[in-house]
C-alpha cells in the first residue's frame, strides 16, 4: 500500500501555499509533480556530466551517452518490449510528436486512396489531428467508433467498422476525460486478425497501470514522461523493430544518418534513425530517475491506490446536489480521472473558485472536442489523482464545490 502522506515529502512543490491555502494538486492527467530524485538527477547532470552524446570520445560525452542510453533500456523493460530490446524505443518531445511520427513516417509510406484509419470518439486531439492530416494528404479516410452511455467503446460497432480497408487502428488506452480503460488486448487481437496495425495512445495509461506491449499486442505505443513524474519535453514511441526499420525517417539532420555525400544520404540504424539533432539529453536522463521511483513503488500498487481514490471520489461527489459525473461507475474500469459538471455553473467558474482555495483542477474540453459533443456538453471540470493524493484532499474538493454551488446560487438569485 502507498503511504501517500509520507510520499508527499518527496515532492517539494506539495508544501507550497496557493492564495494562503495548502496546495491540493488534482490536475495530474495534465502533468504530474516531480519528486526530489528527478529534480536532483536533472541538476546533477548539468553540474557533473553536461556534454553532447554519441559524437564525442571524451569522458563527459561518453558518460552522458551511457546515461542517456541506459534510460532507453529502462523504458524497454518498463513496458516489457520484446526481449527488452532498447532499439525499439524512440525518444521524442512528447506523445503528440510520437503519434505524428507514426502518421507521417508509416502513414506517408503506406496509406493509399480509399484506405481507412479506425479511431474512436474518445480520442485526444493528439490522436486525431495527425491522422486527419495524413488522411487528407493520401486520400485515405478516418472512421470512428462510438461509446455507450457509460463511456465504454461499442465493441460490436468496432468489429463492423474494422474491415479490409482498415490499415491502422489507433486507440487511446485510457480516456483523459472519462477515465475509461479500453480493452486494448482485445482490440489488438481483432486488429491483427484483420491484418492491420495497432497504435495505442498510452499517455493516460502508462503512468497509472502496469504496461505490457506484448500482452496488449501494440505495434506502436506513445506516451509522455511528464505525466509520470518525469520532466517535460520527453516523449516515447515504442515500435516493433521490423516496422521501424522499414519506415523512412521523420526528421532529417545530424545523428540520424550513417553516410552523407553531395546529394545523397544513408540512414542510421534504429532507434537513432529517428532522433535527428541534439536530443533532450538532460530531461531523458532525469526521466530515468522517475522510472526508478515508479518501479520501486510498483505500478500495481500505483493502480490500486488510484482505484481507492476514485472509488471514494465517486461516492462523495455523487452525493452532491446537481452534480453530473461522466465515465464508468466502477473504479476498476477507469483510471484516477473524474470529470463532472455542477448544475449550470461553467467549469471555468468552478475551477476559479477552487483555485482561490488552493485546489488545482482542469476545466475545459480537455483537447477532446468530439467527445464533448458526444456528451452534449461544452466542457467539464476534471479532478485527476496520482500516487501522492489523499482522501483528505478529495474532502477539501467536495467542501469547495459545495461553497461554489452556494455562491453561484446566490448570484443567480440576486440577478433574478
Tell me the three state secondary structure of residue 359. Answer: strand
Q: Which three cell numbers mark 295?
A: 518501479
pLDDT attached to residue 413: 46
**Residues belonging to the chain:** 416
Q: Are strands 166-172 and 116-120 parallel, antiparallel or unpaired?
A: parallel
DSSP label of 197: E
Choose the catalytic residue: 367, 372, 377, 378.
367
367 is catalytic: yes
DSSP string, 116-165: EEEEETT--GGGTHHHHHHHHHHT-EEEEE-B-TTS-B-HHHHHHH--TT
CA 357 to chain centre: 28
The enclosing H or E element of 172 equals: strand 166-172
Q: 280-315 burial, b if ≥16 CB within 10 A, otherwise e?
A: bbbbbbbbbbbbbbbeeeebeebbbbbbbbbbbbbe
Residues 6+ apart with CB under 8 A from 96: 126, 130, 235
Q: DSSP label at 105?
A: I
Query: CB-based contacts of 326: which residues, under 8 Å, 6+ apart?
Result: 151, 177, 178, 339, 340, 375, 380
CATH number of 4-26+299-415: 3.90.1150.10
Per-residue DSSP letter, 27? B
Could you tell me if 387 and 7 are in contact, meaning their C-beta atoms sit under 8 angstroms apart? yes
| CB distance 265 to 47 below 8 Å | no
| CATH code for the part of the protein at 38-295 | 3.40.640.10
- Extract the residue ranges of the chain whose pLDDT is less than 50: 410, 412-413
pTM of whole model > 0.75? yes
Planar angle of CA 173, 394, 298, nearest 5 degrees: 45
- Same fold for the pair 4-26+299-415 and 38-295: no
Annotated domain spans of the chain: 4-26+299-415, 38-295
Of 142, 137, 140, the residue nearest 113 (C-alpha): 140
Compute the CA torsion angle 43, 47, 48, 54 (nearest 10 deg): 80
3-state secondary structure of 283: helix
Given a contact cutoff of 8 angstroms between Cβ atoms, the answer to whether 258 and 266 are in contact is yes
Residue 248: all three cell numbers together: 523512412
Instruction: Select from 281, 279, 284, 306 the least CA-distant residue to 230.
Output: 284
Angstrom distance (rounded) from CA 100 to CA 103: 5
343 Ramachandran zone, left/alpha/beta (phi>0; psi -120 to 50): left
Neighbours of 190 (CB within 10 A): 18
Tens digit of each residue's pLDDT (9 = 90 or more) over 88-131: 999 999 999 999 999 999 999 999 999 999 999 999 999 999 99
d(Cα 119, Cα 99) in Å, to the nearest integer?
13
Amino acid at each position: 500500500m502507498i503511504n501517500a502522506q509520507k510520499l508527499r515529502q518527496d515532492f517539494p512543490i506539495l508544501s507550497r501555499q496557493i492564495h494562503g491555502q495548502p496546495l491540493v494538486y488534482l490536475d495530474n492527467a495534465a502533468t504530474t509533480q516531480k519528486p526530489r530524485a528527478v529534480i536532483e538527477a536533472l541538476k546533477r547532470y548539468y553540474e557533473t556530466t553536461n556534454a553532447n552524446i554519441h559524437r564525442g570520445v571524451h569522458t563527459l560525452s561518453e558518460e552522458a551517452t551511457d546515461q542517456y542510453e541506459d534510460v532507453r533500456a529502462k523504458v524497454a523493460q518498463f513496458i516489457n518490449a520484446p526481449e527488452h530490446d532498447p532499439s525499439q524505443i524512440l525518444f521524442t518531445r512528447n506523445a503528440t510528436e510520437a503519434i505524428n511520427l507514426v502518421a507521417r513516417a508509416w502513414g506517408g509510406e503506406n496509406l493509399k486512396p480509399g484506405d481507412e484509419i479506425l479511431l474512436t470518439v474518445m480520442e485526444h486531439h493528439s490522436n486525431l489531428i495527425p491522422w486527419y492530416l495524413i488522411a487528407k494528404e493520401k486520400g485515405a479516410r478516418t472512421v470512428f467508433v462510438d461509446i455507450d452511455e457509460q463511456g465504454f467503446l461499442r465493441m460490436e460497432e468496432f468489429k463492423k467498422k474494422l474491415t479490409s480497408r482498415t490499415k491502422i487502428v489507433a486507440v487511446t488506452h485510457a480516456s483523459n476525460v472519462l477515465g475509461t480503460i479500453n480493452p486494448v488486448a482485445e482490440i489488438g487481437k481483432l486488429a491483427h486478425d484483420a491484418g492491420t496495425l495497432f497504435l495505442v495512445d498510452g499517455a493516460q495509461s502508462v503512468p497509472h497501470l502496469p504496461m505490457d506491449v506484448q500482452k496488449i499486442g501494440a505495434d506502436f505505443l506513445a506516451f509522455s514522461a511528464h505525466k509520470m513524474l518525469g520532466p517535460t519535453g520527453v516523449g516515447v514511441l515504442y515500435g516493433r523493430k521490423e516496422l521501424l526499420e522499414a519506415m523512412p525517417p521523420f526528421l532529417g539532420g545530424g545523428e540520424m544518418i550513417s553516410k552523407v555525400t553531395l546529394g545523397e544520404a544513408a540512414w542510421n540504424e534504429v532507434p537513432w534513425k529517428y532522433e535527428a539533432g541534439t536530443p533532450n539529453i538532460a530531461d531523458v536522463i532525469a526521466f530515468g530517475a522517475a522510472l526508478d521511483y515508479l518501479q520501486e513503488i510498483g505500478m500495481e500498487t500505483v493502480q490500486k491506490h488510484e482505484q481507492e481514490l476514485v472509488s471514494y471520489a465517486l461516492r462523495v461527489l455523487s452525493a452532491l446536489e446537481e452534480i453530473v459525473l461522466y465515465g464508468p461507475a466502477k473504479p476498476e474500469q477507469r483510471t484516477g480521472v473524474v470529470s463532472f459538471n455542477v448544475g449550470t455553473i461553467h467549469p471555468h467558474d468552478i475551477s476559479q473558485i477552487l483555485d482561490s482555495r488552493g485546489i488545482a483542477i482542469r476545466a475545459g474540453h480537455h483537447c477532446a472536442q468530439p467527445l464533448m459533443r458526444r456528451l452534449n456538453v461544452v466542457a467539464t471540470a476534471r479532478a485527476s489523482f496520482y500516487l501522492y493524493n489523499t482522501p483528505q484532499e478529495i474532502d477539501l474538493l467536495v467542501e469547495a464545490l459545495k461553497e461554489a454551488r452556494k455562491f453561484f446560487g446566490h448570484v443567480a438569485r440576486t440577478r433574478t
